[in-house]
Structure formats: C-alpha cells, structure tokens
Amino acid sequence: MIWIDTLVQGVLLGGLYALFAVGLSIVFGIMRLVNLAHGDLIVVAAYLILVLVSLTGLSPFVAALLAAPAMAGAGWLLQRHVLNRTLGTDILPPLLVTFGLSIALQNALLEGFSADSQRLPAGPLATASLDLGAVTVGVLPLLTFASAIAVILALNWLFYRTELGRAFRATSDDAVTASLMGIRPATIFATATAIAMLVVTVAALYLGMRSNFDPNIGPARLIYAFEAVIIGGLGSLWGTLAGGIIIGVAQTVGAAINPEWQILAGHVAFLVVLLFRPRGLFPRAVD
C-alpha cells in the first residue's frame, strides 16, 4: 500500500517538474536556444508573486494572474533585445549570455530579498487532501499535476491548431525560409519566450506554495527541467510530462528507501534512460 502511495506522490511531483520543463522545451524547440537562466526566471517569478501577495494580501493564485503578463512582457523584451542577438551558427554566445543572466538574477535576488528562504502562503490548501480509498493525495499536488496537463493541452492546441502555432513550427523548421514567406523570426522568437514565461509563472506559483525557495535554487530547477525534456525526447510536450513523471517517481521511490537518496535517484533514472534511449522516449522523427 505504501508503494502505491509513493508511486502516486511521484507521479504528481512529476507534474511540477513538467511545469519547470515546458518553458525550457518551448524555447529550445522553436529557436534552439538553451536558456541556462530558466530556473532563475522561475525563482524571479516566485518572488514577483510573493511581493504581490505581501503588498496586496491577495491569494497567490490571483497574484500569479497579475504576475503572468509582467513576466511575459519581460520575456518578450529579453528575447527581442538581448537573446535574439546571441542566436546564430555559433552555439556558445547564447550559453554564455544566459549563464551570465543566471548569475546576475541570483545576485540581484540576494541583494533584494537576502538569502532567507521564503514560501508563498497557500492557506488551507497547503494541508488539504483527498481520500481516494487506497491512497490519500494532497489537493495542491493534484492541482499542480492538473495544471501541467492543462498547460500542455493548451500549448498543443496553440501549436497545431492556430495560425501563430503554424508560424512557430515553420520558423522552428527553417527560419530563413520562413522569413521569405513573410514571417519575422525575431518577433516569433520574442512571442515564444513570452509564452514560455507564462508557463514559468505557473511553475513558480506551485513551486512557491509547495516548497521553500531562496535566490539560489534556480540552477537545480534547471537541471530537473533539462532531465525531463531530454528523457521525453526533444520537441514532445507529452514526452516532457512523461520525463517529469519518471524523475518524480524515481525521487519519491528513492526517498522511500532512504531519504538521502531522493535527489540522486532522480539523476540515476535520467542516466538509465539515456543509456537505453539516447534520444529520449518520444523523439521527433527528424532533427
């Protein structure tokens, strides 16, 4: 019985990791940009929500709703005026610039908020749970998982059913040819980053309500996100969710055996998948 419980907790934790990873996946998939500051941007969004909550006393959910457009706007500007300039045949400039951004963000947050760990007040939601007979699940983890599924459904609809989505996919396929068709890759990239920042805000909301955060936890979230994206296979959002679930389950199972093994078990699962499926579980046909 305890194993079923562990499994369910792991799956639900996977939803959080998928939320971390989806933004990274969008940005990489559309413009081949590895954003090393992704984890720190999640932390920035968490602090933004925290500030809104403490200033206005609103619920974190409402605060996230306010933070989302601000994050999206910041993402748009960041991409349009900084990251677009780093894109090219050389893969090094975007890595260096986003790595620098990561350090700058961490230190700016340290300066502004100190190294104390913070938490978003979830109220009664923090301890609410549902009794499902065999297992009891927390409402918050359940909500996180449901949000991950909703985000992926919405993004798949956007990518495969709308004009903007087709422009995203066409630019991802071949930016030069797309520009000959009248698409502006610079604007498409900025829009993609803005959308990724919306997902980042959702991830930050649940991260902040479920666990403590401080200015330095960004890089570790980035690693989980990377592992989820790579396990799933680049370019597949459902694959990313599967990747998040695998890491989540590995971590809870590891923790059930020995609490010290939690983090390690997730990384080991990642290595095992890479060993047998170097291109991930659901790779895109060509890339």
Partner 1 sequence: MSILSLAGVSKSYGSLKVTDDVTFDLPEGQALGIIGPNGAGKSTLFNLITGNVLPDAGRIAFDGRDVTRTPPMRRCLAGIGRSFQIPQPFDRLTVFENLLVAATHGRGQGEAAVVRDCADILERCELSARANDPAGGLSLLGRKRLELARAMATRPRLLLLDEIAGGLTEGECTALIRTIRDVHAQGVTIIWIEHVLHALNSVVERLLVLDFGRVIGIGEPGEIMASQEVREIYLGIEI
Give the binding site for partner 1 (CB under 8 A): 163, 166-167, 169-170, 172-174, 176-184, 284-286
CB closer to partner 1 out of 20 and 159? 159
Q: 């909301």: which residue's tokens?
A: 205
Say how many Å lie between the first and final Cα of the chain, rounded.
43
- Considering beta carbons, is residue 146 or 161 the nearer one to partner 1? 161
Minimum CB–partner distance for residue 172 and partner 1 (Å): 8
Least Å from the CB of residue 171 to partner 1: 9
CB of 211 to partner 1, least distance (A): 37
Provide, rounded to whole angstroms, the least separation between the CB of residue 167 and partner 1. 6
CA-nearest of 229, 244, 225 to 282 is: 229
Give the residue with the Cβ less far from partner 1, 92 or 176: 176
- Nearer residue to partner 1 within complex by CB, 116 or 163: 163
The nearer residue to partner 1, 24 or 167, going by C-beta atoms, is 167
A 10 A CB-CB count for 11 gives: 18
- Least spacing, CB of residue 234 vs partner 1, in Å: 12
CB 252 within 8 A of CB 210: no
Comparing CA positions, the residue from 165, 196, 198, 220 lying closest to residue 83 is 196
Residues contacting 65, CB < 8 A, separation 6+? none
Residue type (1 letter), 245: I
